[in-house]
Structure 1
Amino acid sequence: MSAPAAAAPVLAPLRFGPLTIDSPVVLAPMAGITNRAFRRLCREYGSAGGTGANALYVSEMITSRALVERNELTMKLIEHDPGESPRSTQLYSVDPVTTAAAVRLLVTEDRADHIDLNFGCPVPKVTRRGGGGALPWKKELFRSIVAAAVREAEPYDVPVTVKMRMGIDVDHVTYLDAGRLAEAAGAAAVALHARYVDQAYSGVADWSAIARLKETVRSIPVLGNGDIWSAEDALRLVAESGCDGVVVGRGCLGRPWLFADLANGFAGSPERVTPTLGEVGATLRRHAAYLCDFYEDEAKGCRDIRKHIAWYLKGFPAGSQIRHQLALVNTLADLDALIADLDASAPWPGAPAEGQRGRAGNPRRVALPDGWLDSQELTAEQAALVAEAEDSVSGG
């Protein structure tokens, strides 16, 4: 009897310039999360998920000015593992000149194979000065930043993509204009987090907006982001919106094996990873070791792993005392002792471990520069304020 035919892939590979991403999945940049250690863990699961398909794993967001000034932390954040490919870096910028200088550094020093531009950050200290999700409202400033990045990256065959939100709020929608402008400026793809800035991460992502963007932007891939907690969510988003791939953020917190599920799902396979508590503990331990290697400091690595504990243990029968102790670990030996006390045979809990992860926050009034919404043109006073915006963004 002949072997059953392999399932047909749900989507074609993503193509950004010279890059081919077999599994149409992108890890969303998350501050303090998507460092080299976490990306390594996600890559290991994604490539071992039964398909061998690669995805795109993007660095934490870094500011263009800090990169140009070669800030020590920033230079560490753009490091990639020797075998990490493609090497993907996300830039936050508010000024075309600084953007161009930052991209020039990345491409001429061969530090990136892909550059993503952040126009979706909802953090008040960013939007208050016109950056992040507030910036696409000023259409010419947005266009000029994208064009500057593309101009510097294009001779080196490094694709530039754009990640954005739907707009500042329901009365100030920007994503369709921004999608058209990015496409015309030479962006290799656009990704939409289907929420407004004033929502932060609250409420429900409006996937119909991703469908509208797909209808508007026709010559480059459109990626969908928002409320992807499982491979089934990703497949449903693609079916509903017609998008070319997905961007996954909070859904992989404490669950790096989601990239194996996604690779299998997009390959047409029903296979999913359902680890026991013992297997989750082993992943947690490996993550901690990678963090210690990243920081070159065991104490720092163990402090960093603490914030991941609740995400890894979500839904599992681990008592409050051991959870509390795990959230205070200072050494790998401490971590080993506590993991040994977990019930390694406890099976994957199913629904209790699924669903939303990370803080959703609450809707809020967006902090903006004075008069920002009066016009989509940038005034001289606003230009001066925006020029200072990167100074307010710390941590790279």
Structure 2
Amino acid sequence: MTTSTAPARSGGILPPLRIGQHTIPSPVVLAPMAGVTNTAFRKLCREHGPGGLYVAEMVTSRAIVERNVEALRIVTFEDGESPRSAQVYGVDPATVAAAVRIIAGEGRADHVDLNFGCPVPKVTKKGGGAVLPWKRELFTRIVDAAVEAAARYDVPVTVKMRKGIDDDHLTYLEAGLVAEQAGVAAVALHARTAADYYSGTADWSAIRLLKETVTSIPVLGNGDIWSAEDALEMVRQTGCDGVVVGRGCQGRPWLFADLMAAFAGSDERVRPGLGYVAETIYRHGELMVEFFEDEGKGTRDLRKHMAWYLKGYAVGGDARRGLALVSSLAELRERLDALDLDQPYPGKDAEGQRGRQGSPKQPHVPYGWLDSRELSDEHRAKLLEAELSVSGG
């Protein structure tokens, strides 16, 4: 591993992040990502950057209330995780409140984040996720209910959202004010609309406007943070109080070391050769097996991470295909050892876009959803279908 000497940008250094009574030493948050930010990946990221906030995969409030085994597993944390951070998605105020009471009241987490940013069609077409704040009264009632339910256990609630449905139906400034008034501890904005999905360039100017609008609680920025320098530039442009990192850390858990160094004013950066990457992959595999308590399941789940880890490195097609089919730690070790592990860091080729991106698309919303900001009886019935899965985008 080598380090670069890129200077930190002026004005980019931030103080610790306050989330309720919790102090996060470095203002860096791991975004919850379905099928990615399980206990194994969170632990790996924390090993590289121990001072951030690492959020578990999203769970639906309905699944928690029904005590779905997988949902409860997602909100079960290791002893070394602190603060323990869970993200809940819901469309019904009473169900969200009940889920928060279970999570907070049973001591399952120290912080609850509410998801209003999911752009996945299976969620938005039923009125959930990033399109829900369009129904302002419903959004208000959900946030109020969650904050009230968590308050008795002294558990802070935060809100993560998108700009809105599309450029003609923006909700983030209004939603930010509603959340602030409700007593949430922070708001985070993924600076894209549901229509943007993960395409194009995040609109950091929206984060700046939200920061200027919501003034009494931290505002966090999310979108297109592929490097520590990106994070510093986002802070410089927007004045945000911290950053939320999603796709940029896929296959690069050491990004958190870079981010924490940058916010501490250091120019030290992790620039891993392939040997370092291989050892990180193997460590990830060990943690996956430990998490799933099944070697086959753990290594199979690791497969989707391989292309992210190997981005930019000279690894042939056969070797890549073999690693994408591993079924045991012994096989993983053998295939990793067969690589040219003396390869140096390939520079920018290893950075940049990764994970799902897609293209702009017309958001899937219930018929008539955009006709009114108020919730009709028909749409209320439709919303109940939006909580059928345990975890989502």
Name the TM-score, length of structure 1 as normaliser. 0.95
The match for 1:112 is 109
* 2:213 is aligned with 1:216: yes
Alignment of 1:32-71 (within 5 A): 32-47=35-50, 54-71=51-68
Greater relative contact order, per chain length (Cα 8 Å cut-off, separation 6+): 2
Aligned partner of residue 176 in structure 1, secondary structure = helix
Cα distance between partner residues in 2 of 1:302 and 1:389:
31
The match for 1:153 is 150
Cα distance between partner residues in 1 of 2:391 and 2:90:
14
Alignment of 1:315-354 (within 5 A): 315-354=312-351
Contact 1:9 1:267 in 2 (8 A): no
How many residues are treated as equivalent by the alignment? 383
Alignment of 1:237-248 (within 5 A): 237-248=234-245
The match for 2:138 is 141
Aligned partner of residue 330 in structure 1, secondary structure = coil
Cα distance between partner residues in 1 of 2:12 and 2:188:
21
Q: For residue 394 of structure 1, report the CA deviation from its aligned partner.
A: 4.2
Cα distance between partner residues in 2 of 1:382 and 1:276:
53
Aligned partner of residue 86 in structure 2, secondary structure = strand
Aligned partner of residue 87 in structure 2, secondary structure = strand
Spell out, residue by residue over 1:199-238, the C-alpha distance to the aligned partner (whole angstroms, 9 max, x if none). Answer: 1000100000000000000000000000000000000000
The worse-fitting range, judged by mean Cα deviation, of 72-81 and 225-234 is 72-81
The match for 1:29 is 32
Give 2:206's aligned amino acid: A
Contact 1:168 1:197 in 2 (8 A): yes
Q: For residue 9 of structure 1, report the CA deviation from its aligned partner.
A: 7.9
Cα distance between partner residues in 1 of 2:239 and 2:359:
29
* 2:92 is aligned with 1:89: no
Aligned partner of residue 265 in structure 1, secondary structure = helix
Cα distance between partner residues in 1 of 2:11 and 2:266:
9
Which structure 1 segments of 5+ residues have no match? 1-6, 48-53
Alignment of 1:1-396 (within 5 A): 10-47=13-50, 54-391=51-388, 393-395=389-391
**Identical-residue share of aligned pairs (%):** 63
Q: For residue 12 of structure 1, report the CA deviation from its aligned partner.
A: 1.0
Cα distance between partner residues in 1 of 2:35 and 2:176:
28
Cα distance between partner residues in 2 of 1:395 and 1:151:
24
Which structure 2 segments of 5+ residues have no match? 1-9
Show structure 1 runs of 4+ deviating over 4 A. none
Q: For residue 387 of structure 1, report the CA deviation from its aligned partner.
A: 2.2
Give 1:250's aligned amino acid: R
Q: For residue 395 of structure 1, report the CA deviation from its aligned partner.
A: 4.1
Q: CA RMSD in A?
A: 1.2
Cα distance between partner residues in 2 of 1:196 and 1:9:
26
Aligned partner of residue 325 in structure 1, secondary structure = helix
Cα distance between partner residues in 1 of 2:17 and 2:138:
28
Q: For residue 75 of structure 1, report the CA deviation from its aligned partner.
A: 1.1
Give 2:332's aligned amino acid: L
